[in-house]
Chain A
Amino acid sequence: MYWNSIFYPFPIIIFFFLGSFIAPSSKVYAESNAYISEIITQAENEKLWEKRAWKKLLFIPDRFFSSQPKSLMSDKNFFLSQEGKINPKLELIETLKAFAVETPKKPDENYLHPQCRFPARFHWLVEELEINPNKMHFQPCPELHKFIDYLDYEGVSLVFSNYVADGPGTLFGHTFLRLHRNKDYKNESAILDDAANFAALIPAERDWLFAIKGLAGGYPGKFAVVPYYIKIQEYNNFESRDLWEYKLNLSKKEIRLLELILWEVGWTYIDYYYLDDNCAYVILAVLEAAKPELKLTENIKIYAIPSDTVRVVNRTPNLVEQITYRASVFSRYITRLSVLNGQERKILKEIVENNNVKLTQSIFSECHNQCKTRIIDTALEYIDYKEKLVGSNDAIEYGDLRKQLLISRAQTGEKSEPLVDAPTSAPPNQGHDSALISVGYGSTFSGTWFTDIRWRPALHDFESQSNGYSDALGVGFLDTILRADYTNKKVYLKNFHLLEITSLPAQIPNINFLTWHFDSGYEYGFGFGDAATQERGYLQLGYGLALYELNNSLILYTILHCDLGYSSSTAGHIGPTLSIGMIQNISKYFKFIAKSEIAKRFHAEKSIDSIKYSLNLAAYANKNLEFQMNIINNNAMPEASFNIRYYF
């Protein structure tokens, strides 16, 4: 408390929080009513509602396509006027009026005076209008007080949870805030900090409409402040995702305001739209409210992808002070594994494969203390990864082995080497932006000239730079390629991928990841002969194998698909499609990719063969600009083209 008052940027108010708890007489209220009219006139003269800070306190983002103010908040209780959501002026006037109301004689037990319910607005208005505490009764707010006293944060980080090694769906990430505790009287430990998380409340019983509801704003999103260790368990250990923390440059005063904002929004909800009003976007709005000069939400054009918001924050000058990395259980396993020699790796394999306590004890007889320490440390991370172990859950498959390993480990009396803080991938802010636009110019070998225009709103494929992403994972969404054929004077849709997902994770010792590929969409030209100029819709799913060679710079993959298609000429058809490919990272700036696809498509009358192959050299000028040279041969119709790809 003592510390608080020293740093508290609102000394007057603190004074009044601590001030009289004696209920003021009605005379004081009558006076304050006259005074509030005065204040409202003053606010009208100053056009206070036009101030950015006020709009931000009401959670009005800067929409790219609209200048109409409209708050993100869906809950009517967040507004004191009927039109508060769209009318910042009216809301300001009603707010001022509400601040002067008398506390009821016998308030409901849940009653909170507007001053206590909207302290962020209150502080801001008191400062802006220099409201005189002698003329208006400042409410004592014991609950709020308890809350503020407890928080006392001294720093804020934006936290991004990165993708799972074998989960392309997690490429979008998730963001929340880490609230750093005041360390004056505590040792430096992230574990004891807090996290502010905004998430949709989704019932455990998910029906088939789940995804649609999520997109249509069918779930309420709410804020929660929880100990950071809960989020660490959840992301690092349960989901096995690395956490990246971006420490933000906020002043003491801005952090205090953020605490009050958290209090204000904690009561309310926002309709949660997966695409735009999601965790990432709302977090940006919170940061803008705490520091109005930040311009963050205007960078989100149509939809908000969490990794994009991380880049927006990083692009803002002087906002990010420091980037730290918190390894997931999978990354910890990789790191521990990397220091084992061949013999130790063999022992580790034996231990986890046999999963047998007795055998394990005999294996260790040929191993000195340090070797034992290193192996057990690795094995423990492996088990915890496999078991998704969190909290006080028991390990199921490896329960006895884990117990035994822990006891043996404690017996060695050795202290573990600290984990080398070497992230397995580049920080996500270094990745390219999520939307791709590409323009290509080329010619078929028979002399037809064409231009290709491609647009893909999200997100990543292995032809792009993998910095900040993973070489192994790709998610493509509404990927559309239009071709303008100059020679034949026609424009047509060449490819459309509704959704394409690629997962080619590296094979890690003792972990067998699945290599798979899913694609659904429309293509022009799907076989030899007549089919070369016909279109079809298709759906394919395949499994296979990926090999990583030459320090992971070379990836070889082979995937066997089951392919279902429909075209007007053949009606439905089905068949196997074999994809074989090679991805070679030549350097940071160049990548070479060779792919081939052999397919047979059976339908009622006959079968259609299809053979496609392509060579592709990509050059990376900067984070968002790429060039590609392609030679593509689709069913004996070879062509060459040059593409410029830009991410935004």
Chain B
Amino acid sequence: MKYFKLVRNSFIGLILMTALPSNVYAAVEIGKDGNYKDVEAWGMGGCGFASLFIKEKETLPQIGASLVNEVISGYTQSSAITSGTSNCVESRSKTASVEQEVFITVNLSSLSKEAAQGTGEHLIALANVFGCPNEQFSKFSQMNYNKIYETNEPNTVLQNYLREVNSDQFMAKNCVRTIY
């Protein structure tokens, strides 16, 4: 029975190989430098799984910084998308800044678009991540677009946000998670 399955599947595999793209069923690619799909590979194992105990350094060019996932002994550098846990448990509960940086990194292309448009669900989610009131935050992002989104570097965008939010009287008062 097992051999039958193997032969059958090999046969079909040959056919598939001739024509179908490899993403018929989503598969995860591992470790292609700079391939954005790494994001998933980093999440492999998911939060709270074996990765809870992984303490290895990984360099992820996509993030633009070497990220360390030291779940048990704490972070040495901010970021969350590393092996497992951090992008999950830690990214929302550990420190606001980690969560903010990861969020901006993964969603930057959507955020820059929505900020220019003054509305959108990623922008609202970012308002959440910053603990700001949605409506005002969207308007604020659009008005200060040039100052905040001058670059495509996530960490700079984050710093710009923190700076602008804290120099705006209303925002500084109403955003509860923007530690600058």
Q: Is A138 an interface residue (CB 8 A)?
A: no
Q: Is A222 an interface residue (CB 8 A)?
A: yes
Q: Is A83 an interface residue (CB 8 A)?
A: no
B6-47 interface code vs A (CB 8 A; 1 in, 0 out): 100110111111111111111111111001110111011111
Q: Is B89 an interface residue (CB 8 A)?
A: yes
Residue picked from A204, A217, A219, most chain B C-beta under 10 Å: A204
- Give B12 Cβ to nearest chain A Cβ, in Å: 6
Which residue on A lies nearest to B148, using beta carbons? A410
Q: Is the CB of A174 within 8 A of B29?
A: no
Complex Cα distance, B90 from A226, in Å, reads 11
With A278-B25, A406-B112, A499-B15 given, is the CB distance from A226 to B46 under 8 Å? yes
Which residue on B lies nearest to A410, using beta carbons? B145
Q: Which stretch, A229-237, A343-351, A363-371, A619-627, touches the partner chain B?
A: A229-237
Give the contacting residue for B122; candidates A206, A222, A229, A413; CB below 8 A.
A229
Interface of B is mostly: helix
| Residues of chain A contacted by B88 (CB below 8 angstroms) | 150, 194, 225-227
Give the contacting residue for B27; candidates A214, A380, A418; CB below 8 A.
A214
| Residues of chain A contacted by B35 (CB below 8 angstroms) | 204
| Residues of chain A contacted by B89 (CB below 8 angstroms) | 146-147, 150
Chain A, 455-501, CB within 8 A of any chain B CB: 477, 498-499, 501
Which residue on A lies nearest to B89, using beta carbons? A150
Q: Is A377 an interface residue (CB 8 A)?
A: yes
Which residue on A lies nearest to B62, using beta carbons? A391
Residue picked from B37, B121, B129, most chain A C-beta under 10 Å: B121
Q: Is B152 an interface residue (CB 8 A)?
A: yes
Residue picked from B41, B48, B119, most chain A C-beta under 10 Å: B48
With A150-B88, A237-B109, A407-B146 given, is the CB distance from A211 to B48 under 8 Å? no
Q: Is B69 an interface residue (CB 8 A)?
A: no
Q: Is the CB of A266 within 8 A of B24?
A: no
Chain B, 111-150, CB within 8 A of any chain A CB: 112-113, 115-122, 124-125, 128-129, 134, 138, 142-143, 145-146, 149
| Residues of chain B contacted by A306 (CB below 8 angstroms) | 25
Give the contacting residue for A212; candidates B9, B27, B30, B49; CB below 8 A.
B9
With A211-B17, A214-B27, A275-B9 given, is the CB distance from A225 to B47 under 8 Å? yes
With A224-B46, A384-B109 given, is the CB distance from A150 to B9 under 8 Å? no
Q: Is the CB of A211 within 8 A of B27?
A: no
| Residues of chain B contacted by A237 (CB below 8 angstroms) | 109-110
| Residues of chain B contacted by A405 (CB below 8 angstroms) | 116
- Give A322 Cβ to nearest chain B Cβ, in Å: 17
Q: Is the CB of B113 within 8 A of A406?
A: yes
Q: Is the CB of A169 within 8 A of B21?
A: yes
- Give A412 Cβ to nearest chain B Cβ, in Å: 9
- Give B126 Cβ to nearest chain A Cβ, in Å: 8
Which residue on A lies nearest to B39, using beta carbons? A230
Which residue on A lies nearest to B50, using beta carbons? A267
Which residue on B lies nearest to A418, using beta carbons? B119
Complex Cα distance, B18 from A499, in Å, reads 9
Give the contacting residue for A380; candidates B39, B91, B113; CB below 8 A.
B113
With A146-B89, A229-B103 given, is the CB distance from A197 to B117 under 8 Å? no
| Residues of chain B contacted by A520 (CB below 8 angstroms) | 15, 18-19
| Residues of chain B contacted by A233 (CB below 8 angstroms) | 36, 39, 106-107, 110
| Residues of chain A contacted by B118 (CB below 8 angstroms) | 410, 413-416
| Residues of chain B contacted by A169 (CB below 8 angstroms) | 19-21, 23-24
Chain B, 82-97, CB within 8 A of any chain A CB: 84, 87-89, 91-93
- Give B67 Cβ to nearest chain A Cβ, in Å: 14
Known: A230-B43, A262-B46, A274-B24. 19 other contacts (CB 8 A): A144-B48, A150-B92, A169-B23, A200-B28, A201-B28, A202-B30, A206-B22, A210-B22, A212-B14, A214-B27, A230-B87, A233-B36, A266-B45, A267-B50, A390-B109, A392-B104, A393-B109, A410-B146, A415-B118
Q: Which residues of A are at the interface with B, using a C-beta cutoff of 8 A? A: 109-110, 143-144, 146-147, 150, 161, 167, 169-170, 172, 174, 186-187, 189-192, 194, 196-197, 199-204, 206, 208, 210-217, 219, 222-227, 229-230, 233-234, 237-239, 262-263, 266-267, 273-275, 278-280, 306, 376-377, 380, 384, 389-394, 405-407, 409-410, 413-416, 418, 477, 498-499, 501, 518, 520
Q: Which residues of B are at the interface with A, using a C-beta cutoff of 8 A? A: 5-6, 9-10, 12-32, 35-37, 39-41, 43-50, 52-53, 62, 64, 81, 84, 87-89, 91-93, 102-110, 112-113, 115-122, 124-125, 128-129, 134, 138, 142-143, 145-146, 149, 152-154
Cβ contacts A to B, 16 pairs, < 8 Å: A189-B124, A191-B121, A191-B124, A200-B27, A202-B27, A216-B5, A224-B45, A227-B102, A230-B87, A234-B36, A266-B46, A384-B109, A392-B62, A393-B36, A409-B117, A410-B146
Top 3 A-B residue pairs of the complex, sorted by shortest distance between their CB atoms: A147-B48, A266-B49, A410-B145
